[in-house]
Amino acid sequence: MRIPLACLLMLLAIPASAQIYSYTDANGNKVFTNQPPDGIDAAPVQLQPMNTMDPTRVAAPAQDAEAVAAPVDGQSLPYSQVQLTDLPTDEALRANNGTFTVRAALQPGLMPGHRLQLLLDGQPYGSPTNVPLLQLTEIDRGDHTLELQVKAGDKVIQQSMPVTFTVQRVALGTPKATPRPTP
């Protein structure tokens, strides 16, 4: 059974401190609410804690430690949250052609003059962009790390924690026949 999109959007609109309840309505649909109706046996939903980045952390890229901009005059870093979402954490990412998308989550939103840069296995992937939906193509199967950098020109302002994931691809095509030795 699929959860209706409206219910998911409602979950996003509810403050993180609110209690969420779940129940099944008369039509068999799963309903999520912060105020269960009277006379309905609604079960509390345990939400996972939000994944955030410590705003005091600035990671330097392995190849150029000079590229990281440190806070100026004791000012805090511009983003309280810099992270990648839409990656599986407990199972392999199934992408038969190695193509998938990830989303950049920034708090506050991307500031003017800043761009997003993906690092795949420690190396820049693609060109810096201001679009928070990032596509990766033809990624080999196996284990990889992905990081997100926020850049101002060539300087790295902030960088997310690395996320490790596994790409699972199905081998397409037919296996080559092995010739049999002649007697």
Q: What is the domain-level CATH number for residue 158?
A: 2.60.40.10
**pLDDT score, position 137:** 87
For residue 179, the model assigns a pLDDT of 60
Task: Judge whether 143 lies within some domain.
Answer: yes
**pLDDT at position 151:** 92
Provide the token pair at 77: 């870093």
**Positions of the chain with pLDDT lower than 50, given as ranges:** 1, 14, 58-74
Does 134 lie in the same domain as 75? Answer: yes
Give the per-residue pLDDT at 3.
53
Q: What is the dihedral of CA 48, 53, 55, 60, to 10 degrees?
A: 170
As given in the structure block, the two tokens for residue 20 are: 């969420």
**Is 70 contained in some domain?**
yes
Position 19 in a domain: yes
Same domain, 101 and 35: no
Number of domains in the chain: 2
Distances (CA, A) of 23 to 37, 40, 41, 163, 182: 10, 8, 7, 34, 69
Q: Does a structural domain hold residue 152?
A: yes
Cα 79 to Cα 107: distance, rounded to the nearest angstrom: 6
Phi and psi at 123, nearest 5°, equal -115, 145
pLDDT, position 59: 45
Which residues fall within 8 angstroms of residue 36, CB to CB, at 6 or more apart?
21, 23, 42
Q: Is residue 58 part of a domain?
A: no
For residues 122 and 108, give the distance between their C-alpha atoms in angstroms, rounded to a whole number. Answer: 25
Domain that holds residue 17: 5-45
Rounded CA separation 168/70 (Å): 38
pLDDT at 122: 92
Which of 56, 55, 72 has the alpha carbon at shortest distance from 155? 72
Does residue 132 share a domain with residue 76? yes
